[in-house]
Amino acid sequence: GESVGLHLPTLSVQEGDNSIINCAYSNSASDYFIWYKQESGKGPQFIIDIRSNMDKRQGQRVTVLLNKTVKHLSLQIAATQPGDSAVYFCADCSNRDDKIIFGKGTRLHILP
Partner 1 sequence: DTEVTQTPKHLVMGMTNKKSLKCEQHMGHRAMYWYKQKAKKPPELMFVYSYEKLSINESVPSRFSPECPNSSLLNLHLHALQPEDSALYLCASSQVENRGPGDEQFFGPGTRLTVL
CA 65, CA 35: separation in Å to the nearest integer? 11
CA 9, CA 19: separation in Å to the nearest integer? 14
Binding range to partner 1, per CB under 8 A, among 11-19, 20-28, 64-72, 91-99? 91-99
Tell me the sheet residues that pair with 99: none
x/- contact string, 44-83, with partner 1 (CB under 8 A)? xxx--x-x--------------------------------
24 binds partner 1 (CB under 8 A): no
95 binds partner 1 (CB under 8 A): yes
CA 38, CA 44: separation in Å to the nearest integer? 4
User: Which residues would be at the binding site for partner 1 (CB under 8 A)?
Assistant: 31-32, 34, 36, 41-46, 49, 51, 89, 93-95, 97-100, 102-105
